[in-house]
């Protein structure tokens, strides 16, 4: 199978390297921008790829979601399999591209868009066809996990942890997409789409790690609790889907606590299969390229899609999930949360709530912040 590439950055170069030694797969042309053109295996004209009858599949590894979408659509219309590593693009256009790929009888896979090197979407897609997926959750962002781990194990401040993550190349100069949980949210949206045929685009709740301080860590760490930024999705009893990102505190021997540095973890809970946990590299050229290659190997074997035949955009319902929260806030805001245990430290209050809906906790924090005051909250793992 001859495979063309769109993009020749960190991931694209790794994919090209792996294509050269994969079993039964060979590299075709690589599309680059004119200013980067440097080698005969490259082209600046996408039509060279679309019009090559031997090219059976196109891999896209660029960051611009709208550009990526154009390449995807054109490749599928030309009857070529399409593999994307871009979570932003797939989170915006998955239902349409799924329909188009199925119409054309070609594959549309995007394993590297969720979980870096880990075959999460592959596993979920299989589970959906034979089991009942109750929930999916995980540490889906390596940057924030590096920071949380450094704050917890090395006692770093938030600012120092971010600085080191930037020095190591784990965090962007503008780290917002990571620390705000937006990157994690896109990944869990894709996991929901594969698991349930619903891509939740409304009603989502997202809390990042920006409010966590070294004092918070000093307070919960001695209680044996470890903080991780968790993306989670699942099915409510009424059949609706929930999806959110928030910090969660885990007891020390939970698998999540064994996720160190910039590693990732994904956990699925199924009716028959029980719990399946995957741990691995969530980012980086070679690990991400590995999941692209996995998609290509599966296409070679006959796989065409992760998404079910019917996959549409939908609304998340985060009012069903009820768990307890650890909250640090000013005493004057305490009535916004149903406190079950309260600890006072001057004007600062640390509470454990009674079980409450995800949406209610996030709304309460939003109300406090819009009044110009501070709050940190994290769910307590059961």
Q: Which of 38, 167, 253, 370 binds a second copy (CB under 8 A)?
A: 253
Q: Mark the segment that binds a second copy (CB under 8 A) among 21-29, 59-67, 87-95, 184-192.
A: 21-29
Footprint of a second copy on residues 94-133 (CB under 8 A)?
117-119, 123, 126-131
| Residue 173 per-residue DSSP state | S
**Is there a contact between 281 and 264 (Cβ–Cβ < 8 Å)?**
yes
* Structure-token pair, residue 305: 């899609």
Residue 223 catalytic?
Answer: no
Write down the least CB distance from residue 115 to a second copy, Å. 10
CA 26, chain centre distance (Å): 29
Which H helix or E strand runs over 218?
A: helix 214-220
- Binding status of residue 293 toward a second copy by CB under 8 A: yes
Closer of 65 and 277 to a second copy (Cβ): 277
Catalytic option among 80, 187, 235, 267: 187
- For the CA atoms of 166, 232, 86, 4, the dihedral, rounded to the nearest 10 degrees, stands at 120
CB atoms within 10 A of CB 258: 14
Q: How far apart are CA 141 and CA 179, in angstroms?
A: 9
Q: Is 358 helix (H, G, I), strand (E, B) or coil?
A: helix
- Binding status of residue 281 toward a second copy by CB under 8 A: yes
Write down the least CB distance from residue 253 to a second copy, Å. 6
Write down the least CB distance from residue 97 to a second copy, Å. 19
Q: Is 241 helix (H, G, I), strand (E, B) or coil?
A: strand
- Binding status of residue 279 toward a second copy by CB under 8 A: yes
Closer of 74 and 254 to a second copy (Cβ): 254
Write down the least CB distance from residue 172 to a second copy, Å. 21
**Is there a contact between 330 and 348 (Cβ–Cβ < 8 Å)?**
yes
Q: How far apart are CA 216 and CA 150, in angstroms?
A: 14
Q: Which of 27, 247, 280, 314 binds a second copy (CB under 8 A)?
A: 280
CB atoms within 10 A of CB 314: 20
Closer of 299 and 364 to a second copy (Cβ): 299
What residues make contact with a second copy under the rule CB under 8 A? 14, 17-18, 22-25, 117-119, 123, 126-131, 253-255, 257-258, 260, 270, 272-281, 284, 286-287, 289-290, 293-294, 296-298, 301-304
Q: What are the residue numbers of the active site?
A: 187
């Amino acid at each position: 199978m001859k495979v063309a590439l769109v993009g020749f950055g960190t991931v694209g170069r790794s994919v090209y390297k792996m294509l050269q030694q994969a079993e039964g797969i060979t590299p075709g042309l690589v599309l680059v921008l004119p200013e980067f053109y440097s080698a005969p295996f490259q082209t600046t004209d996408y039509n060279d790829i679309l019009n090559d009858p031997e090219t059976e599949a196109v891999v896209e590894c660029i960051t611009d979601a709208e550009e990526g979408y154009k390449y995807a659509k054109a490749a599928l219309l030309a009857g070529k399999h399409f593999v994307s590593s871009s979570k932003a693009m797939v989170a915006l256009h998955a239902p349409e591209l799924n329909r188009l790929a199925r119409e054309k009888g070609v594959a549309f896979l995007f394993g590297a868009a969720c979980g870096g090197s880990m075959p999460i979407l592959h596993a979920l897609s299989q589970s959906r066809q034979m089991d009942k997926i109750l929930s999916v959750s995980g540490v889906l962002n390596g940057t924030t996990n590096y920071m949380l781990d450094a704050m917890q194990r090395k006692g770093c401040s938030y600012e120092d942890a971010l600085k080191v993550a930037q020095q190591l190349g784990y965090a962007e100069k503008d780290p917002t997409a990571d620390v705000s949980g937006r990157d994690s949210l896109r990944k869990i949206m894709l996991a929901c789409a594969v698991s349930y045929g619903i891509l939740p685009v409304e009603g989502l709740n997202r809390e990042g790690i920006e409010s966590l301080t070294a004092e918070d860590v000093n307070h919960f760490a001695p209680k044996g609790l470890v903080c991780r930024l968790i993306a989670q999705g699942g099915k409510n009893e009424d059949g609706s889907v929930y999806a959110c990102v928030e910090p969660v505190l885990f007891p020390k021997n939970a698998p999540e606590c064994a996720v160190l540095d910039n590693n990732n973890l994904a956990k699925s809970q199924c009716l028959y299969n029980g719990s399946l946990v995957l741990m691995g590299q969530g980012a980086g050229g070679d690990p991400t390229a590995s999941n692209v290659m996995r998609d290509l190997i599966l296409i070679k074997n006959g796989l065409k899609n992760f998404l079910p035949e019917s996959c549409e955009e939908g609304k998340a319902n985060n009012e069903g999930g009820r768990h307890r929260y650890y909250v640090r806030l000013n005493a004057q805001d305490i009535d916004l949360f149903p406190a079950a245990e309260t600890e006072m430290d001057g004007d600062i209050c640390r509470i454990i709530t009674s079980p409450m809906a995800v949406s209610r906790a996030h709304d309460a924090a939003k109300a406090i912040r819009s009044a110009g005051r501070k709050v940190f909250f994290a769910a307590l793992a059961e």
